[in-house]
Structure 1
């Protein structure tokens, strides 16, 4: 085949891989706020706003309910780790599906199943049939759906806005989503005071709204068959990621989320036992994390064309782990609150550096599989609920968090030193 024929074939594949709406294709390319003129992007933002709010309500509601009913940090950690276990187990399948199926349909269908799980929990609570262990299978099913949803959502975002505006889109999306992170825990705490079943009915409504927003999106991604089975696609995705230094380094750093996640069970335990706050106070503490992330996202959105993503990642890692240490030793509500705001700032840097570098580095054919690997490793932070919960019961909050920070920084620091492509990434 001649070069001319190859170029023609590649052009045909691109046309099939990415079909945009007329509005998307005509959008003004200039200025960071031009991203808002894309109709489908606005719908994605609204969908993510509802999903993030639901995520926050579900996490804090489950943690509080299990802790209240069992008085066990370990059992609380096990329940909240279930979605992460499911995502880690089948995320690679989700990534392969994202590259070989119509992404739009996969998104709204998984959201509807997630909605049904929240609705089921609310019904069990209303009818007094609920037992804390019911959250284990429900959380596993919810996590399985997110395993299919997450890499698809990340890949679909590039379909909607294109790689050249991905930093601006990610910054704005993170900022708007962090608004939900601020309001979600506070709303969740208030809803738990009104009724635990009410919290899950509101959660179901938020997930349903998120599904409706996706149904209204016009962009379609029509994949061309690779001619191989799904297991071959998965193997190719793993090999591609391993052989690409910057992707390999980012995935190893993402795996340090296992140690970073140990701080999660420390928040409700410290809030209840050391700070003496109730459900609403727990929600406020979590909301402060969202305030920090919102501030960071707004700043990064405004400077999206200037930010150097490699340096941003290093800054986020140092700031995050420093904030965890401050939270561990915080003697009062004020210092704890400052630490949570700082954690949020660091989180925004992570969310705008790591996923963006992966998406812009990966090829169109491999993007879904690369992002599935990212979610598989980064969702090990859910296992941090188990490790952190067990550590807190055995040795206390401070030693557990100190060990987690030391392990995470050792691995991430080694990778950054040995991967110059990562340090210099723009």
Structure 2
């Protein structure tokens, strides 16, 4: 039984191309989390302001909100592997620039904001291509497993990267974190360039036609199995996934700690997410009921973390938050990819990016301001309540679908 479970948990790694991609990401994502922690701490050192943290996060994700649908169209039109190579090179250049500015002492807040904006522009193209590229590597049968393993990888890096960043920030400063991240992108470029192209399963490319972004929006609007999960992701993404704003304030303002405490809090979330990701990879389910349950447990975990009286209790609570958060994301991501028609997959995953990442320009300044005036606990409470609201949306949609299927003559279907 254990062997069968382990085989199911790591099934996607049997695909050579995915193994290459996985290995490259394992290196790069550690650097990415180092930069995430270092950027937040740099802004906090420069300003001491939660609002400034929110503004930088908002600048980073504003392009995703505005341009991700066009990035999704590029993913549907282009060779995703080549597009990803280009975006990785660009992301590395941005990290290198921020590193040089920081090490030389020339960095100012407006520069951090400008580079965060550039990072968002590249991510608007990178994220839809990367999300939809998973199925081209492993096929539909192993898609959920690949998405879950990628979540494990992201959160393993979250456990390692912030801890390393905390040590480096405390000893040599933030600049080296950015330079290490810049170098880490080389691993992804090498992995993508070395893939067996003949073994990929590319989706049919979308022809160049007018109003293709509008076509994608219309397709989602008329497909409730896509629209409801995206609405849930938007609510949660806007108000709950603002940990890059809340955790530095929780570490410094609530618990009176420093960069090391911040790194521990972030690493605790990552460690919990590893466990959650492995469970989802081996036994996880997809669909609206599963997403509803994941949202409810995620919200409950955040509320428990908000009430943690000490750092030790917060670490345990945040580990549970990490486990439930990766479950919610993996279930949502896989549900969308398996539901979407292949020719629309890039545009659908672009809307996933808008819902999850592009909502940050709205949520990050709001949660930053709330956390600055009411404390980090207040910011966490808002996120927990948002998850419960999303769970309510999913429960209502599921109930209406069941009623409609059971009594089609007396109950109208849920409007798209």
Same fold, judged at TM 0.5 (above)? yes
2:67 is the alignment partner of 1:90: yes
Kept in 1: contact 2:77–2:208 (CA 8 A): no
Please list, as runs of the form range in 1=range in 2, the aligned pairs for 1:346-361 lying within 5 A after superposition.
Answer: 346-361=324-339
**Is 2:87 aligned against 1:110?**
yes
Change beyond 3 A, Cα 1:188–1:227:
same
Question: In structure 2, what is the Cα distance between the partners aligned to 1:31 and 1:326?
Answer: 32
SS in 1 for 2:257: coil
Number of aligned residue pairs: 391
CA RMSD of aligned residues (A): 2.2
Please report the TM-score for the alignment, with normalisation by the length of structure 2.
Answer: 0.88
2:126 to 149, 171, 176: 149
The equivalent residue for 2:141 is 164
- 1:402 partnered with 2:374: no
Structure 1 residue 92: deviation in Å? 0.5
SS in 2 for 1:195: coil
Q: What corresponds to 1:66 in structure 2? A: 43
2:283 corresponding residue in structure 1: 303
Q: 2:251 corresponds to which residue?
A: 271
Question: Conserved in 2, the CA contact under 8 Å of 1:103 and 1:152?
Answer: yes
TM-score, length basis structure 1: 0.86
- CA deviation vs aligned residue, 1:343-389 (integer Å, no higher than 9, x gap): 11111211220010000000110000000011011114533321111
Partner of 1:121: 98
The answer as to whether partners of 1:264 and 1:388 remain within 8 angstroms in 2 is no
Q: CA deviation at 1:39?
A: 1.0
Structure 1: gaps spanning 5 or more residues: 1-29
- Whether the 8 Å contact between 2:254 and 2:375 is mirrored in structure 1 is no
Equivalent pair of 1:182/1:287 in contact (CA under 8 Å): yes
CA deviation after TM superposition for structure 1 residue 197, in Å? 1.4
Query: How much has 1:223 moved relative to structure 2?
Result: 4.6
Report the CA distance shift for 1:349/1:318 in structure 2 as closer, same or farther (over 3 A).
same
In structure 1, distance between residues paired with 2:192 and 2:400: 36
Structure 1 331/366 Cα, relative in aligned 2: closer, same or farther at 3 Å?
same
Q: Tell me, which stretches of 5 or more residues in structure 2 are unaligned?
A: 1-6, 404-416
Q: Could you tell me which of 140, 147, 158 is aligned with 2:117?
A: 140
Preserved CA contact (<8 Å) 1:246 1:421: no
C-alpha distance in structure 2 between counterparts of 1:50 and 1:421, whole Å:
45
The answer as to 2:181 corresponding to 1:200 is no
User: Are 2:234 and 1:241 equivalent residues in the alignment?
Assistant: no
Is the 1:122–1:201 contact (alpha carbons within 8 Å) kept by the matching residues of 2?
Answer: yes
Aligned residue in 2 for 1:386: 365
1:78: how far off? 0.8
Alignment map for 1:34-45 (pairs within 5 Å): 34-45=11-22
2:203 aligned with 1:226, yes or no? Answer: no
Q: Provide the rounded CA distance (Å) in 1 between the counterparts of 2:166 and 2:376.
A: 23
Partner Cα distance (1:148, 1:287) in 2 = 28
Q: Is the 8 A contact 2:286 2:335 kept in 1?
A: no
Aligned to 2:409: none
Distance 1:246 1:309, change over 3 A: closer
Q: Is the 8 A contact 2:21 2:192 kept in 1?
A: yes
C-alpha distance in 2, partners of 1:172/1:95? 23
